[in-house]
């Protein structure tokens, strides 16, 4: 036992061999004269910096100046320790009667920025190789670098906790309706959109909000998926919130928040915070690019993105996406005048009426695809035909139904009747996915035409396009064959009309257990498989992806499930379906291209699983692309 509190020739301190906040190569630490170890961290006395180069003002008395000899010895030792452990060290020391004693050394905790800088600089200094450098950064940590965070010095009054659905930090005024969010933002306000849950009609408001907060829904709920795609901070499934749309209030633990009140969200931790908290924007340094290029040199998996706008596609491409793995076309159906045409189609009594409405949508869809193909030139773009049940495109609140009736020149009763007729007890197991295309082939036709017209146009402008048309939610080979025939007939016709030849693929999502079980049959019709692990998880577990948040928290607390299966792929169960489908598919087509486009495509542990079962690519939201690139490289190193 040595003592640092035996007089003024004694001291104790902690130090890092490099700056744990920035990674800068400088010896950095604090000490106290005549003190015990805990005094430094207890905050009772203010510790002083160990050396002159790190002090913030000249009045600070450094160890270097008051005890130069032990200080110099400490410098020699810290260098030796770092050279031995080949990593940044967190050390504790005591000086007893002028003599230095080392108490402890361990690899130091660090911020993401520091982890990246230290890894790259240690490689450049010849201490570690590139593979070790790539393993030194936790992929999930990169989130800290890609999104804004709260100023670490700011005070935070946490009022409740939900699911950390989309990372980042956001601060803004509460609004309860998506259209109001748009109006407020137009007036220059920062807003947080607070909803019981979101639906596709809220896209406009979600797009402009700084953050999104919902009372219901899990990690793959609409709010969570869309927010991650947009890179917008989101806290979902916050069960403690009582939201009253009429009164425009949100109540938590007895405290009432009104429209216009400031709140802040920490989407990385799932925190809801009272009031305004300062945020700091992310900065990507050169070291980040260096580390990512090393990861790219190692990984085997391709990394694509889930994106449905030219803007998001560009963001993802800048983050290193090598194509689009999922373009959800329904998101495009809500913007501007399109929703009117969509509703006209839904209300139509016969095929002729539907075709009439679809003809109005065609130019919009063509422009959408044109923009996306252009942003992703030379890279594959997987476009999925319409997936959600049609009732999602109709308003459910009377006020909006009234508005729709007026706009369409029909009675409120007619709107209500249509909404009623589309009601399903289990919409996620209902009339959606390829089932829509089977019953209304004209929808698939319109989408296939829009895709190919855009592709031919770009090809004739000299832009290289690689369209991959994907049929969702198939459970049988016959469903895929049916939709594939519709697609092929249209796209061949368009190419003939335009006199342009475009190579394309027609594949399918594997997101129903039966499709996985019969993958050898399905593969006969498919150019590629993309695993929709959100639905596959939902259907394998029998947990509704929109409601499971209610009990999964308790499952976690009680240790019933090791992880939220909607975040990290359940390798034991759902993973078996994936692995089996890859094997069965490739038994028929050895080169069958396989990927994943469920939310798991951006989860590091799930990415490693995808590498191990031999998928060709993972696809994730734009802001998770760097995370997936790093995780894919680590999967190679770990499984050598």
Closest of 617, 624, 622 to residue 602, by C-alpha: 624
CB of 392 to ligand PEP, least distance (A): 12
Which of 247-255, 413-421, 454-462, 504-512 is the region at the interface with Mg ion (rule: CB under 5 A)?
A: 504-512
Question: CA torsion angle for 293, 295, 298, 301 (degrees, to 10)?
Answer: -110
Helix 477-498 to helix 441-460 angle, to the nearest 10 degrees?
40
* 468 is a contact residue toward ligand PEP (CB under 6 A): no
Q: How far, in whole angstroms, is CA 445 from its chain's centroid?
A: 31
Angstrom distance (rounded) from CA 8 to CA 6? 7
Q: What's the full length of the chain, in residues?
A: 640
Min separation Cβ 451 and Mg ion, Å: 19
- What whole-number distance in Å separates Cα of residue 554 and Cα of residue 354? 46
x-marked contacts with ligand PEP along 554-583 as a string, rule CB under 6 A: ------------------------------
How far, in Å, CA of 626 to CA of 620, rounded? Answer: 10
Residue 90 binds which one of Mg ion, ligand PEP, none, with CB within 5 to 8 A depending on kind?
A: none
Secondary structure class of 325 (helix, strand, coil): strand
Nearer to Mg ion, 393 or 531 (CB): 531
- Judged by CB under 6 A, the residue of 47, 441, 532, 585 near ligand PEP is 532
- Name residue, tokens 């190419």: 495
Residue 511 engages ligand PEP in binding (rule: CB under 6 A): yes
Residue choice 64, 87, 535, 564 for contact with Mg ion (CB under 5 A): 535
Q: Regarding beta strands 593-596 and 528-531, do their DSSP bridges make them parallel or antiparallel, or are they unpaired?
A: parallel
Question: Would you count residue 598 as binding ligand PEP (CB under 6 A)?
Answer: yes
Residue in 207, 212, 213 with CA at minimum distance from that of residue 186: 207
State the DSSP code for 572.
T
Residue 122 or 470 with smaller CB distance to ligand PEP: 470
Among 328, 354, 435, 484, binds ligand PEP (CB under 6 A): 328
| Nearer residue to ligand PEP within complex by CB, 135 or 517 | 517
Q: What are the Cα distances from residue 203, in Å, to 91, 161, 630?
A: 50, 24, 30
Comparing CB distances to ligand PEP, the nearer of 172 and 475 is 475
**3-state SS string over 578-621?**
HHHHHHHHHHHCCCCEEEECCHHHHCHHHHHHHHHCCCCEEEEC
- Tell me if 19 contacts ligand PEP by CB under 6 A: no
- Closest to 483 (Cα-Cα) out of 351, 387, 616, 361: 387
* Cα torsion 70, 76, 79, 82: sign: negative
Contact with ligand PEP (CB under 6 A) among 115, 119, 252, 326: 326
User: Contact letters (x/-) for Mg ion, 461-490, by CB under 5 A?
Assistant: ------------------------------
Which entry of 147, 177, 222, 331 is annotated as an active-site residue? 222
Is 597 known to be catalytic? yes
**Residue carrying the six token digits 């670098």:** 145
**Residues in contact with Mg ion, shown as a per-residue x/- string from 515 to 534 under the rule CB under 5 A:** -----------------x--
In the complex with Mg ion, the residue whose CB is nearer, 210 or 435, is: 435
- The rounded distance, in Å, linking the Cα atoms of 49 and 30 is 4
In 3D, which of 560, 571, 558 has the Cα closest to residue 603? 571
Q: Which is nearer to ligand PEP, 145 or 234 (CB)?
A: 234
Between 532 and 601, name the residue whose CB sits nearer to Mg ion: 532
In the complex, minimum distance from the CB of residue 522 to ligand PEP, in angstroms, rounded to a whole number: 16
Number of neighbouring beta carbons within 10 Å of residue 397 = 11
Annotated catalytic residue within 233, 456, 597, 610 = 597
DSSP string, 380-423: EEEEEPP-S-GGGGS--SHHHHHHHHHHHT--HHHHHHHHHHT-
The stretch near ligand PEP (CB under 6 A) out of 164-172, 350-358, 435-443, 528-536 is 528-536
Q: Which stretch binds ligand PEP (CB under 6 A): 114-122, 138-146, 201-209, 533-541?
A: 533-541
Measured from the CB atom, is 12 or 306 closer to ligand PEP?
306
The entry of ligand PEP, Mg ion, none that residue 502 binds, CB within 5 to 8 Å by partner kind: none
Q: Which does 521 bind (CB under 5 to 8 A by kind): Mg ion, ligand PEP, none?
A: none
Spatial strand order in the sheet of 262-266? 157-161, 271-274, 262-266, 169-175, 191-195, 211-214, 233-236, 163-166
Q: Locate tokens 């998506």: which residue?
A: 178
Q: Which does 238 bind (CB under 5 to 8 A by kind): Mg ion, ligand PEP, none?
A: none
* Active-site annotation holds for 222: yes
Contact 619, 597 (CB under 8 A): yes
Nearer to ligand PEP, 444 or 634 (CB): 444
Sole window of 63-71, 312-320, 440-448, 530-538 interacting with ligand PEP (rule: CB under 6 A): 530-538
Residue 453 site contact among ligand PEP, Mg ion, none (CB < 5 to 8 Å, cut-off depends on kind): none
Least separation in angstroms between CB 533 and ligand PEP: 5
User: If binding is defined by CB under 6 A, does position 358 make contact with ligand PEP?
Assistant: no
Three-state DSSP state, 363: helix
Between the alpha carbon of residue 102 and those of residues 19, 108, 312, the distances in Å are 19, 16, 52
**Residue (49 or 549) nearer to ligand PEP, CB:** 549
Kindly state the smallest distance separating residue 535's Cβ from Mg ion, in Å. 4
CB of 157 to Mg ion, least distance (A): 38
Residues numbered 382 to 401 that lie near ligand PEP (CB under 6 A) are 387
Min dist CB 601 to ligand PEP, Å, is 8
Residues from 166 through 225 that contact ligand PEP (CB under 6 A): 225
Q: How many residues bind ligand PEP (CB under 6 A)?
A: 11
Binding site for ligand PEP (CB under 6 A): 225, 326, 328, 387, 511, 532-535, 597-598
The catalytic residues are: 222, 597
Binding site for Mg ion (CB under 5 A): 511, 532, 535
């Amino acid at each position: 036992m040595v003592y640092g509190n035996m007089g003024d020739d004694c001291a104790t301190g902690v130090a890092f061999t490099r700056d744990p906040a920035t990674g800068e190569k400088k010896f950095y630490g604090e000490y106290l004269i005549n003190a015990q170890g805990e005094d430094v961290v207890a905050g009772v006395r203010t510790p002083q910096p160990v050396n002159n180069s790190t002090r913030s003002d000249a009045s600070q008395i450094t160890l270097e100046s008051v005890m130069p000899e032990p200080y110099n010895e400490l410098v020699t030792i810290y260098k030796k320790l770092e050279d031995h452990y080949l990593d940044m060290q967190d050390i504790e020391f005591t000086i007893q009667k002028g003599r230095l004693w080392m108490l402890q050394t361990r690899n130091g905790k660090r911020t993401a920025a520091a982890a990246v800088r230290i890894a790259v600089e240690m490689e450049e200094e010849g201490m570690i190789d590139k593979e070790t450098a790539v393993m030194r950064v936790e992929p999930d940590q990169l989130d800290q670098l890609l999104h804004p965070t709260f100023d670490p010095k700011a005070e935070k009054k946490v009022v409740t906790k939900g699911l950390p659905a989309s990372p980042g930090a956001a601060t803004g005024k509460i609004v309860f309706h998506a259209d109001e969010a748009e109006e407020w933002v137009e007036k220059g306000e920062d807003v947080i959109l607070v909803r019981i849950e979101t639906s596709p009609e809220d896209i406009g408001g979600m797009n402009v909000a700084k953050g999104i907060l919902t009372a219901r829904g899990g990690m793959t709920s609409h709010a969570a998926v869309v927010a991650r795609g947009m890179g917008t901070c989101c806290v979902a499934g916050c069960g403690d919130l009582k939201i009253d749309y009429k009164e425009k209030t949100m109540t938590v633990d007895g405290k009432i928040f009104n429209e216009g009140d400031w709140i802040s969200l920490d989407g990385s931790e799932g925190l809801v915070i009272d009031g305004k908290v300062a945020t700091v924007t992310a900065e990507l340094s050169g070291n980040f690019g260096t580390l990512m290029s090393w990861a790219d040199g190692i990984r085997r998996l391709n990394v694509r993105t889930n994106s449905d706008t030219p803007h998001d596609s560009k963001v993802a491409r800048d983050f290193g996406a090598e194509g689009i793995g999922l373009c959800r076309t329904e998101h495009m159906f809500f913007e501007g005048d399109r929703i009117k045409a969509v509703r006209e189609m839904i209300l139509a009594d016969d095929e002729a009426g539907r075709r009439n409405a679809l003809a109005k949508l065609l130019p919009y869809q063509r422009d959408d695809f044109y923009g996306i193909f252009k942003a992703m030139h030379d890279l594959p773009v997987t476009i999925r035909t319409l997936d959600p049940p049609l009732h999602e495109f109709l308003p459910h609140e009377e006020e909006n139904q009234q508005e729709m009736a007026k706009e369409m020149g029909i009675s409120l009763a007619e709107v209500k009747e249509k909404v009623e007729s589309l009601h399903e007890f289990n919409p996620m197991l209902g009339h959606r996915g390829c089932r829509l295309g089977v019953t209304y082939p004209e929808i698939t036709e319109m989408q296939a035409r829009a895709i190919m017209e855009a592709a031919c146009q770009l090809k004739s402008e000299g832009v290289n396009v690689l369209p991959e048309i994907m049929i969702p939610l198939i459970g049988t080979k016959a469903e895929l064959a049916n939709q594939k025939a519709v697609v092929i007939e249209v796209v061949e016709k368009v190419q003939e009309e335009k006199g342009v030849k475009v190579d394309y693929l027609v594949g399918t999502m594997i997101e129903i257990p039966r499709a996985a079980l019969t993958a050898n049959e399905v593969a006969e019709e498919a150019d590629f498989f993309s695993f929709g692990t959100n639905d596959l998880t939902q259907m394998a577990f029998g947990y509704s992806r929109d409601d499971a948040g209610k009990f999964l928290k308790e499952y976690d607390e009680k240790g019933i499930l090791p992880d939220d299966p909607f975040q990290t792929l359940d390798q034991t169960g759902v993973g078996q379906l994936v692995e089996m489908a890859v094997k069965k598919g490739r038994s028929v087509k050895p080169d069958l291209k396989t990927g994943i486009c469920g939310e798991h495509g951006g989860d590091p542990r799930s990415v490693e699983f995808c590498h191990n079962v031999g998928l060709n690519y993972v696809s994730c939201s734009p802001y998770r692309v760097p995370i997936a690139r790093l995780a894919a490289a680590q999967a190679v190193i770990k499984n050598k």
